[in-house]
Amino acid sequence: MKKFDLNKFIKIIKKSKDSYDSFIPNILDKVFDWKKSGPDGITTKYTFPKNLNSLHKFFKKIDKKIKYETVFNVYDDLRQQKAGEWFFELGIISHQTNKKLLFICVYFYATRYDEVTFDIVKKPKLNKYPDRIKLMKIVHQYLDGKYFPKTTTDESLFDEPGGVGQQINGAWGSVVNFSYKLELKPQKTVSHPLYDYSLLHRYKIERSFISYPDTKINYEFGKKRK
């Protein structure tokens, strides 16, 4: 079996200009230089993951030194409505041999339509692992972006004290997980240094999900239990 070439992987990503070039199976097609065998030239060696569990196993099959971490994910089971299952995840790809190698990965799959987005996103460019503030900006960018329905809630959201209230997009999802590195866990006392930060962002997130409080939200995803 051909060995994964990290330098080639990086070069291909940097040269990518459109969504076809950034589609991860297509990138791997070029890295391993396999013969085109699938529809539209997409390799059948490493096809896209079909759910969130297989997403986490995907990169380990390519190179055990690749590290993949969830920033946040959303799942909705709409099979009773005959709309299938919907998965979204925003993650960060890194490599053990190069601490500056960091890429944002976007995964979105709707089983009803068999439509998938599984891309490397070059912006924002990450030269080091982002702190919670930068991660939260990225999270809100996607929560308010094209991956979620554009319905609006009846309430207005005040982002900052004294700010102007704005209607926000309603997001789908019955189960949502946010990385513990975002530090959104509810704090018991006002004196805690994270109290205002976590309260503000949880408020904004919870108002983003039109089915909340029925939506189950976990703010400590990925944290190892003692």
pLDDT in tens, 106-140: 999 988 888 889 999 888 888 888 999 999 999 98
Q: At 85, phi and psi to the nearest 5?
A: -115, 145
Mean predicted lDDT score pLDDT of the chain: 82
pLDDT on residue 180: 96
Place 81 in a pLDDT band, splitting at 50, 70 and 90: confident
Omega prior to 25 cis, within 30 of 0: no
pLDDT on residue 157: 47
pTM of the model: 0.83
Identify which has the larger pLDDT, 144 or 102.
102
Q: Is the pLDDT of residue 160 over 50?
A: no
Contact in structure between 152 and 170 (CB atoms under 8 Å): yes
pLDDT on residue 105: 93
pLDDT on residue 52: 93
Span 160-172, average pLDDT: 56
pLDDT on residue 62: 87
**pLDDT (tens digit per residue) in 5-28:** 888 988 888 887 766 678 898 888
* Cα–Cα distance measured from residue 181 to residue 196, given in angstroms and rounded to the nearest whole number: 16
Omega prior to 124 cis, within 30 of 0: yes
DSSP conformational letter for 14? H
